[in-house]
Amino acid sequence: MPKIRNDINGWLVVDKPIKMGSTDVVRELKYLLHPMKIGHGGTLDPFASGVLPIAFGKATRTVSYVMDGLKTYEFIIHFGVRTSTDDIDGDIVETNERRPTAEQIKSVLPKFIGDIDQMPPAYSALKVNGKRAYELIRNGIQPDLKARKIHIESLRLLKVISADEIRFEVVCGKGTYVRSLGRDIATAVGCLGHLSYLRRTACGAFSLKDAFSLDKIKDLCYKEQLVSRLYSIETVLSDILELALNEEQARFLSQGQVLKNTFGAKQGSTYKATLNGLLVAFVVVDGNLIRPTKVFKQFN
């Protein structure tokens, strides 16, 4: 008999453990909950832990608003060793005895803040001529990667743990590879380095205080309490301008019809249209009309 799929809508924040990929977490939740639709809001490498937002049902249509948001990481650079993957899971390819001082590190951090060019790590999921970069390397082909523009909102040294290891915090935008950032900080002070630790502490609207471990999630599933702990779709949309509708306007939009722009909404802008605080649709202002682009709630 076909499996019953549950109509679950909303966001669950998982504290991803190390040694699991993001898709492994999604697979586990599929098995536990059998949702109609599921997706995640930003990949974490297996060696990394921390905030992994999981979208269910209609929330999957808002994943981009999480992935495009700022993310916060704590990370540790282990100096004196360069690895093939720029993290602890790679093979050692070079070592030296040079170690930076805290003052040397602090002097180079400002050059990494703002809009900067970053070379992605060779072992990445980026596609080159239709193939993943890491697949090319495994086949003995060096991928021709290009530097990409990324945004670093803030970057600070948190603690000198030892001569070999220093802990940092970074707040960054979409597409940032923290592994590459660690490698480049080490290079800037004339050293080698790789990440020995990486933990995402915030992702878009979510932080560690919102997150559940997988063991806790399994316990909540057993007690049939998990769905009540989901965050609403609207949680990730706090930064989007809102149009408050009446019931008639909400019904028109939900049926794909346009409204006259009696709201004074700005030409070309995207808004979330709501009824009593609940998301009805995403809309765009087209001249004197409000057009729905994604409908989330249907009205008869």
**Cα–Cα separations (whole angstroms), residue 97 to 82, 164, 178:** 12, 10, 23
Catalytic-residue membership of 219? no
C-alpha 151/C-alpha 155 separation (Å) is 11
Beta pairing partners, 54: 12, 40
C-alpha 33/C-alpha 167 separation (Å) is 37
- The active-site residue, picked from 15, 45, 86, 210, is 45
C-alpha closest to that of 263 among 278, 253, 273, 252: 273
C-alpha 44/C-alpha 198 separation (Å) is 9
- Are the CB atoms for 43 and 175 separated by under 8 Å? no
Residue 36 per-residue DSSP state: S
Gyration radius from the chain CA atoms = 22
Q: Which pair of tokens denotes residue 53?
A: 């937002």
C-alpha 101/C-alpha 112 separation (Å) is 18
Instruction: Kindly write down the DSSP assignment for every residue of 55-118, as one continuous string.
Output: EEGGGGGGHHHHHTS-EEEEEEEEETEEETTSBTTSPEEEE------HHHHHHHGGGGSEEEEE
C-alpha 72/C-alpha 172 separation (Å) is 6
Give the type of residue at 79.
F
Residues with active-site annotation = 45
